[in-house]
Amino acid sequence: MRPLSLKGHERALTRVRFNREGDLVFTSAKDKRPCVWYTENGERIGSYDQHNGAVWDIDVTWDTQKCVTASGDNTVKIWDAERGNCLNTINHQTPMKSCGFSYSGNLVIFTTQKMTKNMSSVQVRDIRDQSQMVDGAEPIFSAQFDVNAGTALFSKLDDEITIGFESGLILQYDLRNSEQSKNANESVHRYSVQDLQVSPSGEFLISSSRDKTSALLDINDLKKLKQYKSERPVNSACISPIRDHICLGGGEDAMQVTQTSVSAGHFEAKIYHMVFEEEFARFKGHFGPINTMAWHPSGNCIATGGEDGYVRIQEFDEDYSNFKYDF
Amino acid sequence: MVEIDLNKENEEDFSDPIGFVDDIKDEVLVPDVLHQKPVIDEFEECAVVITGVPVIGSERVGKLQNVLTKVLEKIEKKVKLFIPVGPDGASLGVLLSEWPDKKVAKFAVESLDGYAFDKNHTFSAKLFSEMKLMRPPNDDWKEPTKQPYTDVGDLWWWMQNDRCRDQFAVSYDKNGVPTVGVYTHMKGHDPELAGDNDIAERANWTETVFTWSPHGSYLSTIHQRGIILWGGVEFKRAHRFAHDGVQCIDFSPCETYLVTYAAPEDRGKWWEGEKDCLKIWDVRTGELKKSFSAFELTNKTQLPNWPFFKWSFDEKYFACLKAPEKDKLEKEKKIDGISIYETETFELLNKRPVIIENIKQIDWSPASNLLAYYSECTDMSPAEFGLLQIPSLQRLRSARIYNVADAQMFWQKSGKRLAFYTMRYNKKAFRETGEIKYVGGCTYHVDIFEIDKKDVSLMNLPLPEAFIHFGWDPEGDKFCVLTGNQTKAAPHVYKIEPNSHAPKLISKLDAGVQYNEVQFAPKGGWLAILAKVSAGGNVMFVDTTLAEAKRTNVIEHPLFNNGYWDPTGRYFVTCSSLGGRNGADLGFRVYTFQGRELCRKSMERLAQFKWRPRPPVKLSEQKQKEIKKNLKKISARFIKQDDDEKCRASQEVVEKRRKIMSAFDVIRNRNKELVAAQRDARIALRSGIDTDATLNPDEFVEEEITIALSTSRTAAPISEEDDFD
């Protein structure tokens, strides 16, 4: 089947996400307009316009009621997903790098970048409590770090969060204790953690790093269970909801892309067996590094967003569904 | 005026007081210049000390004087000699002589050193100036203690692999630590470590690079303090050679000697370190055979190339180009000779270098003591390619060619033939910048000496296009020439027929992009043509065993920078290592001799890949014939073994996977239970809806929405009446 190639963004993609049912794709890019599309035919439904800078992350609640976006214009915005109007804006002194909803969709997490005297921070706020949704209000949870927290998410219901840092460190906190991290893993990655995703069934975390590997972590204690080696920095990885497969994507540094041929850049998405750590398939399409990817809830298609500004929705062919490992 | 005065007061006076004498000596200030300072004293260079003269009583000294005078006067009439005597008037076995000038003195040393005076007395002669440099023997000298012999086990153990598998070593970064590992190549699946984890693969095994000895007996590693050789099943330390700051090493062809080199400037004061910067060791005993000064060898403070010494096939001789001499204006002249050393004495053959003007390159025959040389052409004289027989120094054959701009020599491994390529120009012009420019195009030729033929016959083969590379079939009578340019390089395969005067072209293969090297398999027959460090990274595999050369496959390995045949010629490896092009994926790929890919492996910061060489094992002709005859029968056995192994391997893999999976399932089930325990909390968090439950398709409400994908303006009918009309 032909993959869909969605051209709606003017600049590099930063995040693609499906909603829970998988009928919609939410995308954010380094241009100012996050978009929402139909998965089925790739038609764009609309965009969320108000940001004035690169949008680094977008997330949607389980019931597809609300969206959250984090932007380089130093704001996090909560949107009405259907109508596209902005419900809340939280300002900060520095750019916001990553954001996400909790399991219930009532809490929102976001990270802020380190800049001059401002430390990098991770905050959690309750969107039901309007007093928390104004600038300078006291959040439910707040922690500050000397290294940039690149990515953060709710790893367990509304209780636990996991944060990935530029140094390669991964920390896990209980929301009730912002003083002391619950778990830490500093050995699995040597360079910046680019992305963290929870497995669809909630048993594992998958991390992606510039050290050219992606790792499967135990969601309860952050222990490394598996590690997948790629030839290039990994920007994003996701886990299949129906089979023991993972997919990762990345590629040559954006800075060096102009000096490499497409074949040497490794801009393909690579599929590995989750347990045996072996690569068995890859698919091409992007002509720049893949920045973000998400597995469709049905398990039979993957959305990828690239540095080239395209979103590709790739449906799997029959070979894939017939492919089986002997064991 | 006031201002000036003020300045003067502030200025410190740095000039020396009157009558000041500097107490720093020149030796401290400019030792490197003094090192090269010529000795002024002519006298010392005219005096020769001769030892080994008979010791006799006082009564016969006069007679000895007469005999010696006769001997010495044969060299030069104007010699003065003096026999020192002890207190009892008996001679001391020493003779002092004085010659009219230093040239004669030098000649006298050459002729008297080693002169057999009688049955029991052989002279050794030295210039007085050289004598002065000798140090008295160390008083504390003790006889060296016996070193216990370290038995590392069988050095050729890997040759006994029952499947005749070859080994290779790689140096790369394992988890960020530079590591050298020795692996066994397994056809069809991943290479296996050639031993236990910390035995065959070690972190920081070498500080720079590793090398195999030519027969594969030892793995040598370089360290700050010297060289270590490792051997045996467990790669135990077999030998150590202490050489501070060693950089380069080279083995003689049969592994008897090891040459090590440390750049003098890295050892503090170069004029001190450089005296013994080049050392030759005996590998088995660890004895230092001889050390050289790079400055004396080359007249430079650094060696120009490595390996510096070229070894003859049987290690009897080693040779290097002579140091260039300087003319009166201290300008370097062209090199005019070859220094050939004998390993029996580690002295120059015949005590003097062989003089050949404008010598550029030398190369030993791989099978006999023949030294091929190429001397550059000048405006006055042609270039010369010649064959020198050692030790007789007889010139077996030489060819003179005018207007040679560039040349290279290629020995066939069997030693039967020598090919040399020449680029010949029509006219030469000098640009204003002093660069040489060739006018009117160049022609390219390959010439071949046939050593076995009577009088060493010479064949000429003009090439239609520019020469790129050349390769001999090591044993057979074919060769391949690569000609063309960057974008279109065509390999030509030629055959030398016994009664023909020119090689016969048997195939011209399809031209390819950026081919730049020809490599015949070590046992001949199969040929790889490489496009190293190119974006396409092609390797063409060619079968030349039949009447016509045929391409079997072309593979792609973008940006690979090295290709190697394994020692048996069964496999070919392309590897992309550090030092190649930026942005290449470091790693190697193994192919069969026909170009079928067997395995690919990426390795972080791969620096070296080297097949372990095999020692020469010569089967009798009869045995070889027997094997060839029964090849079908034997190969069937091997194929069966391969299949069995494949089957076993896949079973093993399945077994291994099962184990991994069951270990993983333990964690997965534990986490599943934890998630399941959250069920009530999950439902509560999503306002009573169980989103984990599978969606029932029956509950779906089908909704049809019509959306106009595009609209366009069309002219509408004006009225119904118009329509009807």
Q: Which residue has the higher pLDDT, B273 or B483?
A: B483
pLDDT tens sequence across B546-556 = 888 899 999 98
* Interface mutation vs chain A, best among B177, B589, B685, most A CBs within 10 Å: B685
Nearest-5° angle of CA B387, CA B393, CA B395?
40
| The residue to which tokens 């390529």 are assigned | B421
Number of helical H runs and strand E runs in chain A = 2, 28
How far, rounded to the nearest angstrom, does the alpha carbon of residue A68 sit from its chain's CA centroid?
A: 13
Q: Does A279 touch chain B (CB under 8 A)?
A: no
Structure confidence at residue B271 (pLDDT): 59
Residue B685 carries which side chain, given as an amino acid letter?
Answer: L
Q: How confident is the model at residue B39 (pLDDT cuts 50, 70, 90)?
A: low
| CB pairs < 8 Å spanning A and B | 73
8 Å CB contact between A50 and A77: yes
Q: Which of B176, B558, B660 sits opposite A263 (nearest CB)?
A: B558
When the pLDDT of each residue in chain B is averaged and rounded to a whole number, the result is 85
The two three-digit tokens of residue B679, written as one number: 């069920």
How far, rounded to the nearest angstrom, does the alpha carbon of residue B453 sit from its chain's CA centroid?
A: 32
pLDDT tens sequence across A47-60 = 999 999 999 999 99
Buried b (16+ CB within 10 A) or exposed e, A281-314: bbbebbebbbbbbbbbbebbbbbbbbbbbbbbbb
Q: Does A158 touch chain B (CB under 8 A)?
A: yes
How far, rounded to the nearest angstrom, does the alpha carbon of residue B94 sit from its chain's CA centroid?
A: 48
> Which residues lie below 8 Å from residue B201, measured CB to CB, with a gap of 6+?
B174, B179, B180, B181, B182, B193
Task: With CB atoms and an 8 Å threshold, state whether A264 touches B176.
Answer: no
Distance from CA of A257 to the nearest CA of B (A): 10
Q: How confident is the model at residue B571 (pLDDT cuts 50, 70, 90)?
A: very high
Chain A neighbors of B686, CB-CB under 8 A: 62-63, 103-105
In 10 A of CB B148, how many CB atoms?
Answer: 6
* Residue B111: strand, helix, or coil: helix
* Residue B331: strand, helix, or coil: coil
Query: Cα–Cα distance between B343 and B309 in angstroms, integer?
Result: 12
Asked if pLDDT for residue B719 goes beyond 80, the answer is: no
Distance from CA of A115 to the nearest CA of B (A): 30
8 Å CB contact between A47 and A33: yes
* Residue B100: strand, helix, or coil: coil
Maximum Cα–Cα distance across chain A: 57
Closest residue, chain A, to B655 (C-alpha): A327
Percent of chain B with pLDDT over 90: 35
DSSP sequence for A259-285: GS-HHHHT-SEEEEETTT--EEEEE--
Length of chain A: 327
Q: How confident is the model at residue B695 (pLDDT cuts 50, 70, 90)?
A: low
- Which backbone phi and psi does B9 adopt, to 5 degrees? -65, -40
Residue A265 carries which side chain, given as an amino acid letter?
Answer: G
Query: Cα–Cα distance between B112 and B124 in angstroms, integer?
Result: 7
8 Å CB contact between A111 and A68: no
Q: Does A278 touch chain B (CB under 8 A)?
A: no
Distance from CA of B702 to the nearest CA of A (A): 14
Beta bridge partners, A177, equal: none
Structure confidence at residue B40 (pLDDT): 61
Q: Which residue has the higher pLDDT, B433 or A8?
A: A8
Closest residue, chain B, to A261 (C-alpha): B535
8 Å CB contact between A129 and A90: no
Q: Which of A281-290, B36-45, B247-256, B518-527 has the lowest mean pLDDT?
A: B36-45
The two three-digit tokens of residue B157, written as one number: 């153990």
Distance from CA of B553 to the nearest CA of A (A): 21
8 Å CB contact between B238 and B220: no
Nearest-5° angle of CA B238, CA B240, CA B246?
135
pLDDT tens sequence across B171-197 = 999 888 999 999 999 887 788 898 888
Structure confidence at residue B316 (pLDDT): 93
Backbone torsion region of residue B216, taken as left when φ is above 0, otherwise alpha when ψ lies between -120 and 50, otherwise beta: left
ipTM: 0.85
Q: How far apart, in Å, are the Cα atoms of A100 and each of A154, B410, B686?
A: 7, 68, 16
Chain B neighbors of A202, CB-CB under 8 A: 671, 675
What average pLDDT score do residues A85-91 get?
A: 90
For residue A229, give the nearest of B606, B604, B181 by alpha carbon.
Answer: B604
8 Å CB contact between A55 and B679: no
Asked if pLDDT for residue B691 goes beyond 70, the answer is: yes
DSSP sequence for B299-325: SSSS-SSSS-SEEPTTSSEEEEEPPPP
Q: Does A140 touch chain B (CB under 8 A)?
A: no
Closest residue, chain B, to A189 (C-alpha): B175
The two three-digit tokens of residue B33, written as one number: 């210049």
Asked if pLDDT for residue B702 goes beyond 90, the answer is: no
Beta bridge partners, B158, equal: none
Task: With CB atoms and an 8 Å threshold, state whether B583 touches A260.
Answer: yes
Asked if pLDDT for residue B41 goes beyond 70, the answer is: no
* Residue B622: strand, helix, or coil: helix
Q: How confident is the model at residue B4 (pLDDT cuts 50, 70, 90)?
A: low
* Residue A235: strand, helix, or coil: strand
Query: Cα–Cα distance between B595 and B573 in angstroms, integer?
Result: 10
Q: Which of A104, A259, A276 sits opposite B686 (nearest CB)?
A: A104
Structure confidence at residue B190 (pLDDT): 82
Task: With CB atoms and an 8 Å threshold, state whether A220 touches B685.
Answer: no
For residue A23, give the nearest of A35, A40, A2, A41 by alpha carbon.
Answer: A40
Closest residue, chain A, to B584 (C-alpha): A264
Q: How confident is the model at residue B593 (pLDDT cuts 50, 70, 90)?
A: very high
Distance from CA of A326 to the nearest CA of B (A): 6
The two three-digit tokens of residue A9, written as one number: 């963004």
Structure confidence at residue B725 (pLDDT): 47
Structure confidence at residue B576 (pLDDT): 92
* Residue B641: strand, helix, or coil: helix
Task: With CB atoms and an 8 Å threshold, state whether A219 touches B671.
Answer: yes
- Share of chain B residues as helix, strand and coil, in percent rounded to the nearest 5: 20, 35, 45
Asked if pLDDT for residue B412 goes beyond 90, the answer is: yes
Structure confidence at residue B643 (pLDDT): 84
For residue A208, give the nearest of A258, A158, A153 by alpha carbon.
Answer: A153
Query: Cα–Cα distance between B448 and A322 in angstroms, integer?
Result: 60
Asked if pLDDT for residue B302 goes beyond 70, the answer is: yes
Distance from CA of A116 to the nearest CA of B (A): 32
* Residue A92: strand, helix, or coil: coil
8 Å CB contact between B263 and B175: no
Task: With CB atoms and an 8 Å threshold, state whether B686 touches A63.
Answer: yes
Chain A neighbors of B691, CB-CB under 8 A: 20, 62
Task: With CB atoms and an 8 Å threshold, state whether B176 touches A190.
Answer: yes
Which range has highest mean pLDDT (A125-134, A212-221, B158-167)?
A212-221
Asked if pLDDT for residue A146 goes beyond 80, the answer is: yes
Query: Cα–Cα distance between B435 and B447 in angstroms, integer?
Result: 28
Q: How far apart, in Å, are the Cα atoms of B217 and each of A283, B156, B185, B287, B616?
A: 46, 6, 18, 19, 12
Q: How confident is the model at residue A80 (pLDDT cuts 50, 70, 90)?
A: very high
Query: Cα–Cα distance between B700 and B184 in angstroms, integer?
Result: 60
Chain A neighbors of B685, CB-CB under 8 A: 102-104, 106, 157-158
Chain A neighbors of B650, CB-CB under 8 A: 326
Asked if pLDDT for residue B711 goes beyond 80, the answer is: no
Residue B592 carries which side chain, given as an amino acid letter?
Answer: T
> Which residues lie below 8 Å from residue B18, measured CB to CB, with a gap of 6+?
none
Q: How far apart, in Å, are the Cα atoms of B177 and each of A259, B195, B203, B419, B691?
A: 28, 20, 6, 45, 48
Q: Which of B583, B660, B682 sits opposite A252 (nearest CB)?
A: B583
Q: Which of A203, A260, A263 sits opposite B672 (nearest CB)?
A: A203
The two three-digit tokens of residue A289, written as one number: 């590094």
Residue B553 carries which side chain, given as an amino acid letter?
Answer: N
* Interface mutation vs chain B, best among A203, A246, A263, most B CBs within 10 Å: A203
pLDDT tens sequence across A195-231 = 999 999 889 999 999 988 999 999 999 999 999 988 8
Nearest-5° angle of CA B638, CA B639, CA B644?
95
**Strand residues in A113-261 grouped as ranges (E):** 120-126, 141-145, 149-156, 160-165, 170-174, 183-185, 193-198, 204-209, 213-218, 224-229, 234-239, 245-250
Q: Does A38 touch chain B (CB under 8 A)?
A: no
Q: What one-character DSSP code corresponds to residue A256? A: G
Asked if pLDDT for residue A286 goes beyond 80, the answer is: yes
Q: How confident is the model at residue B379 (pLDDT cuts 50, 70, 90)?
A: confident
Asked if pLDDT for residue B272 goes beyond 70, the answer is: no
Q: Which of B71-85, B97-111, B265-279, B511-525 has the lowest mean pLDDT?
A: B265-279
For residue B583, give the nearest of A268, A292, A271, A231 by alpha carbon.
Answer: A231
Task: With CB atoms and an 8 Å threshold, state whether A203 touches B682.
Answer: no
Query: Cα–Cα distance between B271 and B276 in angstroms, integer?
Result: 10
